[in-house]
């Protein structure tokens, strides 16, 4: 049996290719939207992609199922409860799908979504006994799937389903089964996922804190405590996957825009400018009204929290290669309406004589001095509740990142404002958003709480 796990950096997604070179066919499980890697594997191993299997209706990334079906003719298999609007083959409990020596048995394991399945995998060239368990988003390495994404109205039912899947359906499976999830570290589909991509069922039973409860009430309380923020993009991605994403060839063609053309497109209704440069570069000079979402490995999650799905996007990047890389990240989460990127970057914009703005980067030493002065700035700490409880600056006002983006800071911002986060990344996003909303005197704390504590300044719990 051929088996390969494929990781998508940043989003923390895992997809899988299983097949049999001798039988010249393979299956792809939970594919990402850009499908070249699957086509290359199939070509290199002499296999045809016979089917696509979705373990559930994904919320954090657009599936590559439509691309694979259009390119290879492979049928898409998904649980009928997903309610998808495109042609598909229904996955049912106990159903078996084979590709030569690779044998997959479907287990219905709702909880992360009402339509989640797991896949028991056997290598028939060695034994009919299952060797692997593809758990989708029900069980991760070190954590379990969050049950709240399908909606609050079925949350109680989802938690019960999750408990039944983990403590019931999986209970009779052998401990030596290798566990391969659909997500790992970096995903927002769980909370405390390991960086490892594989575990065993026995090891998870012994060490995964979410598999060690003796009663449902305690399990439910733990599941609903400190759920991660839900990016605004998730609903859009779910519906995109439900209806079937448009093919890449039907997405707008990438354009390199002169400063003149870029400035003209700024007047387009619903347009948003994302500046992908680092905090220092953006702080020094940027296009007024642009949002700073620096190019780092989890940028897709931050875009999903910060930018409304369906927005028409203009990009500012350090160079053409970084702009293309950003476009791919946006494509993976369904942000397809990209009008183009600024040719020549901020240097070209500045030399064209157009207005620029700045976002001052405040050192932690300057912050400490300002807080001790007679007219201290309003200090907004935009970290999560858990980060705040682990230690914060005494004078800080806590407003979590996601709450500010959704409802605003809910405080008067007529005076100077300093924004702090863990490292300075989120504070630049919030700082740029506040400036766009009309806050006249805002600065971002460079290095965030990491720099504050390393400089020896005090915190309170």
From first to last of its 461 residues, the chain has per-residue pLDDT tens of 999 999 998 788 999 999 999 999 999 999 999 999 999 999 999 999 999 999 999 999 999 999 999 999 999 999 999 999 999 999 999 999 999 999 999 999 999 999 999 999 999 999 999 999 999 999 999 999 999 988 889 999 999 999 999 999 999 999 999 999 999 887 777 777 788 899 999 999 999 999 999 999 999 999 998 787 788 899 999 999 999 999 988 777 778 999 999 999 999 998 999 999 999 999 999 999 999 999 887 888 899 999 998 899 999 999 999 999 999 999 999 999 999 999 999 999 999 999 999 999 999 999 999 999 999 999 999 999 989 999 999 999 999 998 998 888 888 788 899 999 999 999 999 999 999 888 889 999 999 999 999 999 999 99
- In three-state form (DSSP H/G/I as H, E/B as E, the rest C), the secondary structure along the chain is CEEEEEEECCCCEEEEEEEECCCCEEEEECCECCCHHHHHHHHHHCCEEEEEECCCCCCCCCECHHHHHHHHCCEEEECHHHCCCCCCEECCCCCEEEECCEEEEEEECCCCCCCCEEEEEEECCCCCCEEEEEEECCECCCCECCCCCCCHHHHHHHHHHHHHHHHHHCCCCCCCCEEEECECCCCCCCCCCCCCCCEEHHHHHHHCHHHCCCCHHHHHHHHCCCCCCCCCHHHHHHHHHHHCCCCHHHCCCCCEECHHHHHHHCCCCCEEEEECCCHHHHHHCECCCCEECCCCCCHHHHHHHHCCCCCEEEEECCCHHHHHHHHHHHHHCCCCCEEEEECCHHHHHHHCCCCCECCCEECHHHHHHHHCCCCCCEEEECCCHHHHHHCECCCCEECCHHHHHHHCCCCCCCCCEEEECCCCHHHHHHHHHHHHCCCCCEEEECCHHHHHHHCCCCCEC
Q: Kindly report the pTM of this predicted structure.
A: 0.90
Instruction: Point out which residues pair with 292 in neighbouring strands.
Output: 275
């Amino acid at each position: 049996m051929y088996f390969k796990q494929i990781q998508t950096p940043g989003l923390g997604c895992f997809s899988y290719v299983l097949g049999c070179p001798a039988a010249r066919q393979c299956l792809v499980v939970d594919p990402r939207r850009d499908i070249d890697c699957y086509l290359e594997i199939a070509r290199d191993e002499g296999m045809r992609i016979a089917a696509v299997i979705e373990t559930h209706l994904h919320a954090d990334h657009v599936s590559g199922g439509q691309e694979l079906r259009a390119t290879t003719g492979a049928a898409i298999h998904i649980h009928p409860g997903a309610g998808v609007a495109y042609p598909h083959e229904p996955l049912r409990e106990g159903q078996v799908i084979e590709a030569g020596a690779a044998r997959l048995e479907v287990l219905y394991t709702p909880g992360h979504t009402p339509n989640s399945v797991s896949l028991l995998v056997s290598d028939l060239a060695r034994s009919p006994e299952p060797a692997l368990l593809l758990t989708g988003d029900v069980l991760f390495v070190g954590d379990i799937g969050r049950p709240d994404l399908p909606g609050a109205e079925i949350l109680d039912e989802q938690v019960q389903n999750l408990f039944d899947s983990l403590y019931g359906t999986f209970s009779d499976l052998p401990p030596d089964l290798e566990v391969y999830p659909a997500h790992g570290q970096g995903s927002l589909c769980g909370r405390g996922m390991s960086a490892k991509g594989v575990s065993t069922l026995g090891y998870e039973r012994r060490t995964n804190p979410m598999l060690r409860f003796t009663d449902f009430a305690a399990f439910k309380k733990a599941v609903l405590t400190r759920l991660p923020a839900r990016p605004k993009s998730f609903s859009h991605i779910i519906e995109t996957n439900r209806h079937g994403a448009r093919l890449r060839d039907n997405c707008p063609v990438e354009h390199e825009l002169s400063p003149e053309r870029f400035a003209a497109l700024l007047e387009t209704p619903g347009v948003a400018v994302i500046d992908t440069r680092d905090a220092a570069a953006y702080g020094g000079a940027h296009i007024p009204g642009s949002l700073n979402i620096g190019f780092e490995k989890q940028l897709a999650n931050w875009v999903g929290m910060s930018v409304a799905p369906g927005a028409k996007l203009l990009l500012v990047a350090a160079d053409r290669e970084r702009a293309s890389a950003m476009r791919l990240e946006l494509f993976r989460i369904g942000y397809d309406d990209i009008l183009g990127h600024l040719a020549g970057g901020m240097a070209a914009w500045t030399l064209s004589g157009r207005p620029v703005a700045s976002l001052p980067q405040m050192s932690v030493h300057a912050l400490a001095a300002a807080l001790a002065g007679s007219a201290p700035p309003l200090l907004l700490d935009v970290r999560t509740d858990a980060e705040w409880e682990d230690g914060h600056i005494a004078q800080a006002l806590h407003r979590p990142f996601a709450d500010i983006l959704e409802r605003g800071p809910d405080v008067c911002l007529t005076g100077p404002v300093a924004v702090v986060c863990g490292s300075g990344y989120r504070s630049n996003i919030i700082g740029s958003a506040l400036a766009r909303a009309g806050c006249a005197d805002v600065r971002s704390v460079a290095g965030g709480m990491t720099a504050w504590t390393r400089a020896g300044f005090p915190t309170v719990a």
